[in-house]
Structure formats: structure tokens, C-alpha cells
A = this chain, B = another copy of it.
Amino acid sequence: MDPKPIDILRERLREASHLGATVALLDWDQEVNMPAKGANARAAAIAYLSAVVHNKFVAIDEDGLLTGLKKLLDNPPADINQALTKREAVIVRETWRSYEKEKKLPETFVKKLAEASSKSQIVWAEARAKNDFALWLPWLEKIIKLKQQEAEYLGYQNSPYDALIDAYEPGMTTAETARVLGELKDFLLPFLRQTKASKTKIETKKILGRFPISQQVTLNKLIAGQMGFDIEAGRLDKSVHPFSTNFHPTDVRMTTRYREDDVLYSIGSTIHETGHALYEQNLPAEDFGTPLAETVSMGIHESQSRLWENNIGQSLPFWQYFYPKLQVAFPKPFKRLKLAKLYQIINKVEPSLVRTEADEVTYNLHIILRFELERALIEGQLEAGELPQAWNTKMKEYLGLEVPNDQLGVLQDIHWAGGDIGYFATYSLGNLYAAQFYQQLRKDLPELDQQIATGDFSKINHWLKQNIHRHGKTYRAGELIKKVTGEELTSRYFIDYLKAKYQKIYNL
């Protein structure tokens, strides 16, 4: 008997995913292992392989296989045995969606963008080290032009930025993002003023001490494992910028960064990446390659990392459980520091220049700033050369900070250098999704705080897996949040969460 068309499609998708996973390994290795002199050859390999992945994916329909299945999906036959199952329908629907986008991009363009992104990142790293925006500017201009061109290829309704954000958050639009982030900004700016005005002053975030990195590694592995990360199906390594990636649900890799003088720095990033990694490990391995084993969107992905990092990992119960372990690992610096004080320090609200070090209140202002700027760049209202000035003006306006140099300003993030425009907004969307999921999780698990305080994360994990992870791309982000919480995405839960938490901490 001939294989069914849906099974042929599954096989083609699996092959495409083997290629995709291989590119992910090239990227991972570049950050974690690659010797310095290997950079150029690696960039060339990644650019070439990116085109191979593109071609493989576009060739999925060269004999009309996918088109045939799409027809079957749109016009289900009367005989139920001939129709697609619900799960098969998801595969066809989501593959069609990706295919329709991907085929609009010419191979030469894919290669050009991959090469430019790769080289731009190298120049950006040098420009950042030298605090020399002008050095990177020509590459930034090239990237913006290419991303505008990408938007034209992909097509859009109102703004070219629509096409770009849709790549990270399928179905999301510029207008909707602007609306949600606008609500958030309207709340955050006065709320930040309130916390600043509070009489409660919290000591410096930094706890003085020496924290040998090998000991930090052990502690971070302990935390990740306790959260449910399966170390036999993944790794935790070091890199300059923490990230997580996956080749398959059985091989999910994350990295964190370490500072000898700050242990909280690595713990926070490990909890964040473990949130991402748990999502990837919980995808159904048997559906590898198909949308059934793919994550919903970057926003939903980020909701998983943020829920763990902030809602759980910066909560009092979490540190009731972990602080004694931290004290055992590093007795000297923590001997005299009370838990209540540590909790305050971890949650201190303090405008800072660097996004990745921001607290929960100011973090989204960093994102809003970037969203507004990148949107203006893509829509042509801002020239790349004007970017540092625009950045600095907004930093003053939103966070009240003077930017002393571009290294601590516009050059701090790799995203734009790598062509990831439309990505930043998903960080804030992730925070909103996280808060909305979290209030539902609290409802469904009334003993949540006790579980966290005793280090029992199994029920949280089970809830996340059942409600979110195991579905893969079965539901779009908008459907998923409604299915799980009964409501569409709103900034209300996040705002309520911040209010409740920080009113207590700052006696507002």
C-alpha cells in the first residue's frame, strides 16, 4: 500500500527539521564552542545551510502534495475515513501557513539576508567593544533595507512592520501591539514615579562576595533540575549571551552567563532559560518535525521563561525554598542577610540603562522604547543615523536616564544586528501572557505557594505541559490564551500582578 499523502508530508517535514536542527547546532556551537578564527567559515556555512533549509521547505509542494492536502482540509470529504483527523488538520493548516510565507522569499534573498546578518553581527560586536556606532551604521542600514524588502515580499495590510512581527508572533499586528503596549506604558510611567517616590528604599542589588564559577554551575544545574529540566535530554553551558535552543525534544540546550562577583545574575538567567527549555522538552517527540511539535509563537515561548523567571522565580515562596541552599553554597556573603531583605533586593525597582538587567517594572519600558524605534525605522519615519539620538531621548523620557555612551545605549542588544526586527515586542507580550496564565495557574492550584515553598514544581510543570506545551501549534496564541484562561490577551493581569507585588514591597 502506498503511503498516505499526510505521511509523506510528515516525512518531508521531518527531513526539513533535521536540516533546521543542524543549523541550530551550527549556531549553538558558534556561541558555546567555536574557536575565534573559525568565525568566517562558520558564517559562510550558516548562510549556505539557511538557503538549503529554505529550498527544502519550499520544495515540499513541488509535486502539489501540500496543495492537495490543503484542498482536503478546506473541502472535507463526506466519508470520514477519507478526511484528515484533527491533528492532521493542524499539520496541514500550519504547514500551509509557513509555506505560503516562505515561498514568497527568493532563495537569493534568503542567502543575502543570512550573510548580511552574520557579517553585521560581527561588525556590531566590534562596534560595541569600541563604542563606535558609526562603524556599524552601514550594516544597520543594509539590514533595515533588507527587512523592508522582506516585508514587501511577504506582503502586509497596513504597515510593513506587520509582516515582520507576524514572523515571530503569528497573527499579531502592529496596531494591536501598539494598543497593548500603549496601555502598559500608560500604567508603567506613573507607577514607576510612585515607586521612586516611595519612602521604602532598598539597598543595592549587588551582594558583595566572590562566587567561584564552578560552584555557581553546580547550583544552577541543581535549580534547573529541580524545576524539571531533564539533563539527560539537554545541556546547560556558558555563553556571553544566555539563550536556549533545541534540536529535538530529546536534545534541548540552554546557556547562562556567569559573573564571579554576582551569583544572582546567573541564577536569574538560568531560571529564565529553563522556562524556555521545559517548553521544548515537553513537546511531543513523536511528532518531531511537524507543527504539532512546534511552539506557538515567540510571545508564548517568552511567557514560559517569564512565568518561571518572574512570577515564580522572584516570588517569596521560591526563595523560602532556595535561599537556604544558596546560603549553604555561599555561607559568607549570605550569613547575615535575612530572607525578607534578599527578597527586596531581588525585586528592587531601579531604572537602568541595560535591558537584560532591568527589573519587572522597568523592563517593559525598555521594550516599548525598542518597539517604537524599530517600527519607525521600518516604516521609514526614522533614519538609522538618527537612532542613537532617538534612543537617548526616549531613555530620558521613559526611564529618566542619561545615556553616557552607545555601548550602554543603542549598541547593547544583538537583535537588530542579526536582523531580528519585530522580535522585541514578543518579550512584553510574553510578560502579559505569563501574568494571565499565572493567575489561572493560581486558581487551578490553590496550594501553589506551599508547593513552591517546598520545592515541589511537579504540579506546575504538569499544568504547563497539559495546558500549553503538549499542544504544539494546535492553537494559535490568541486561541490558546482564551482556551486556558477564558479571556483574550489583556494587560490587566500583568498590571494587577505588578500592583499587588510592588505595593507591598514599596508600601505604596
* A359 in contact (CB, < 8 A): no
Whether the Cβ atoms of A45 and B22 lie closer than 8 Å is yes
* A499 in contact (CB, < 8 A): no
Contacts of A248 in B (CB 8 A): 38, 41-42
Whether the Cβ atoms of A19 and B52 lie closer than 8 Å is yes
Whether the Cβ atoms of A22 and B37 lie closer than 8 Å is no
| A41 interface neighbour in B33, B49, B250, Cβ under 8 Å | B250
* A127 in contact (CB, < 8 A): no
Interface string of A221-234 (1 = CB under 8 A from B): 00000000011111
Whether the Cβ atoms of A18 and B45 lie closer than 8 Å is yes
Whether the Cβ atoms of A235 and B52 lie closer than 8 Å is no
* Chain copies in the assembled complex: 2
* A437 in contact (CB, < 8 A): no
* A265 in contact (CB, < 8 A): no
* A21 in contact (CB, < 8 A): yes
Contacts of A285 in B (CB 8 A): 41
| A251 interface neighbour in B25, B37, B48, B235, Cβ under 8 Å | B37
A288→B41 CA distance, assembly (Å): 9
A26→B235 CA distance, assembly (Å): 16
CB of A377, distance to nearest CB on chain B (Å): 32
Whether the Cβ atoms of A18 and B49 lie closer than 8 Å is yes
Q: List 22 A-B contacts (CB under 8 A).
A: A18-B44, A19-B52, A22-B22, A22-B25, A22-B26, A22-B45, A22-B49, A25-B26, A33-B33, A35-B233, A35-B234, A35-B251, A36-B232, A36-B233, A37-B232, A37-B250, A38-B233, A38-B250, A41-B251, A41-B285, A41-B288, A42-B247
A52→B15 CA distance, assembly (Å): 10
* A260 in contact (CB, < 8 A): no
| A38 interface neighbour in B38, B41, B251, Cβ under 8 Å | B251
* A34 in contact (CB, < 8 A): yes
* A152 in contact (CB, < 8 A): no
Interface string of A346-376 (1 = CB under 8 A from B): 0000000000000000000000000000000
- Among the interface residues A37, A40, A49, which one has the most CB atoms of the partner chain B within 10 A? A37
A38→B247 CA distance, assembly (Å): 9
Given contacts A15-B48, A33-B235, whether A250 and B40 have CB atoms under 8 Å apart is yes
